[in-house]
Amino acid sequence: MKRPMVLREPGARPLRLDMRMETDASFEELLLRARGRVIEAVRGLIAPVSDDRFLHAAIYGGRVRRASVDGKAAWVPSPREIDFLGDMVLSVLASAVLTDRDYYRAHLGLCELCGTVTFRDAADTRAQCAEHRVSGFTLRAR
């Protein structure tokens, strides 16, 4: 992938990548929107009835492709510099999930309080990150 000249995300003002520019509020807005789309994809993937539309979107959008990695069939990210930032990030997640879906289904987690993506032991079904997990009790969001 070529280095993007502009970062884009639906609902956010495009941000021209120029090292001479200082970041402003539009950069944070763009990051928040991209992060929100990634969190929604993870939430859907780990839901009891899995919503894996982002995997299909990545495949049919050409943002992942099949490849041989160390002699094994795998999926690798192949985003384009014109893709939305969230789609670039989701292409990395999609390639990992498509390569080893059982692992991600068993271990991927999402803290519902702060949105941190976590990896957990299979027997640990709590949906909180280490910061929000308190010896068996769950903190409530205010």
In the complex with Zn ion, which residue's Cβ is closer, 31 or 39? Answer: 39
Burial 63-89 (b: 16+ CB within 10 A, else e): bbeeeeeeeeebbbbbbeeebbbbbbb
Q: Identify the burial level of 10 via C-beta atoms within 10 angstroms of its C-beta, where 0-12 means exposed, 13-18 middle and 19 or more buried.
A: exposed
Residue 114: CB minimum distance to Zn ion, A? 3
Nearer to Zn ion, 68 or 135 (CB): 135
Site for Zn ion in 56-115 (CB under 5 A): 111, 113-114
Total residues contacting Zn ion by CB under 5 A comes to 6
Contact 26, 13 (CB under 8 A): yes
The stretch near Zn ion (CB under 5 A) out of 17-25, 46-54, 70-78, 116-124 is 116-124
Among 65, 116, 118, 133, binds Zn ion (CB under 5 A): 116
Decide: is 35 part of the binding site for Zn ion (CB under 5 A).
Answer: no
d(CA 129, CA 133): 6
- List contacts with Zn ion (CB under 5 A): 111, 113-114, 116, 129, 132
